[in-house]
């Protein structure tokens, strides 16, 4: 089969959760149809990260990250940190995350105290430094504290010029986007940018300098318009990329090429045949 004209990377999906919902095959097919030639499947804790490792070993278009989600009720202990470190040595492990802070408090969502979340985040930032990996950061209603923690804990372990990480499912405004750039963080736009009443988010997407945006699905969550209300699939990242292209006054293929190059620089993914990859 010939390679699709436009290639995209879904920088953030949860293939293990899609598999649990019986949607893995559909997820991989949707990606192929939409030209999503690479996917980063995101880990949530030791066990989930290990299952994502298996996913990456099974499918050549899949890479994985090693994470400790802020909803995890305890901070990682020494044994868990060493298990996460072991996973990070895998050749297809491309980042540390998701990690972060979540201050959205609703009954039944999560009940992890801020202090526990901060302990988890700090341990994981150290792990990322030790392994010179980019971080995948979850920030829900916690912008100021996330910026403060990243300022403290990011360091400069990665090569000069390589992004320090990504603010996944970016939910801030143009001011937060500027702070992200200062921290050498890439902003990742999800289906939320296609939702109504997200003017500040759209302004952020329009304001960022070239080379500092990527796109993601967070599948199975947050399907973009026109798929809203269904389980999200990695192929739907094309709808988000097209929406962001419009906001930036670019053609869809132009923006796809740019954002794909940024995603590859972020996670050190190979370029495909015929492209000047790294």
Binding region for Zn ion (CB under 5 A) out of 47-55, 77-85, 118-126, 210-218: 210-218
**191 CA to centre of own chain:** 13
> Of 11 and 258, which has the nearer Cβ to Zn ion?
11
Rg (CA), the chain: 17
Q: Which residues 96-115 are close enough to bind Zn ion by CB under 5 A?
A: 98
Instruction: Report if residue 139 touches Zn ion, rule: CB under 5 A.
Output: no
Binding region for Zn ion (CB under 5 A) out of 120-128, 138-146, 189-197, 235-243: 138-146
Instruction: Report if residue 138 touches Zn ion, rule: CB under 5 A.
Output: yes
Q: Which residues 217-236 are close enough to bind Zn ion by CB under 5 A?
A: 218
Bridge partner list, 139: 101
HSE at residue 260, side-chain half, CA atoms within 13 A, is 25
Binding region for Zn ion (CB under 5 A) out of 93-101, 113-121, 151-159, 188-196: 93-101
Task: Tell me how crowded residue 232 is: count the other CB atoms within 10 A of its CB.
Answer: 28
Question: Residues for the chain: how many in total?
Answer: 278
- Residue, CB closest to Zn ion: 138
* 155 Cβ contact list (under 8 Å, min separation 6): 129
3-state SS assignment for residue 241: helix
Instruction: Report if residue 142 touches Zn ion, rule: CB under 5 A.
Output: no
Instruction: Report if residue 158 touches Zn ion, rule: CB under 5 A.
Output: no
- Give the span between the Cα atoms of 218 and 239, in whole angstroms: 13
Instruction: Report if residue 171 touches Zn ion, rule: CB under 5 A.
Output: no
| Least CB distance to Zn ion at residue 28 (A) | 18
**Which residues form the interface with Zn ion (CB under 5 A)?**
98, 138, 218
């Amino acid at each position: 089969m010939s390679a699709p004209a436009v290639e995209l990377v879904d920088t953030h999906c949860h293939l293990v959760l899609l598999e649990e919902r019986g949607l893995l095959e559909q997820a991989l097919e949707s990606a192929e149809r939409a030209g999503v030639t690479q996917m980063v499947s995101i880990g949530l804790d030791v066990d989930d990260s290990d299952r994502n490792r298996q996913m990456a070993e099974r499918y050549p278009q899949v890479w994985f990250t090693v994470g400790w989600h802020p909803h995890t009720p305890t901070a990682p202990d020494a044994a868990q940190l060493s298990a996460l470190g072991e996973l990070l040595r895998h050749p297809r492990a491309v980042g540390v995350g998701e990690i972060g802070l979540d201050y959205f408090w609703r009954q039944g969502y999560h009940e992890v105290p801020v202090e526990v979340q901060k302990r988890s985040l700090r341990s994981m930032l150290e792990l990322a430094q030790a392994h010179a990996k980019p971080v995948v950061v979850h920030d829900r209603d916690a912008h100021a504290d996330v910026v403060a923690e990243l300022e403290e804990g990011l360091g400069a372990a990665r090569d000069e010029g390589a992004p320090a990480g990504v603010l996944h499912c970016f939910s801030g405004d143009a001011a937060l986007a500027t702070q992200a750039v200062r921290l050498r963080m890439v902003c990742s736009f999800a289906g939320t940018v296609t939702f109504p009443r997200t003017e500040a988010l759209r302004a952020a997407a329009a304001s960022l300098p070239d080379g500092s945006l990527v796109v993601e699905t967070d599948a199975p969550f947050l399907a973009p318009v026109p798929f809203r209300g269904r389980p999200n699939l990695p192929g739907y990242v094309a709808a988000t990329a097209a929406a962001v292209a419009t906001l930036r006054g670019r053609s869809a293929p132009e923006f796809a090429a740019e954002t794909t190059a940024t995603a590859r620089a972020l996670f050190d993914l190979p370029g495909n045949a015929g492209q000047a990859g790294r």
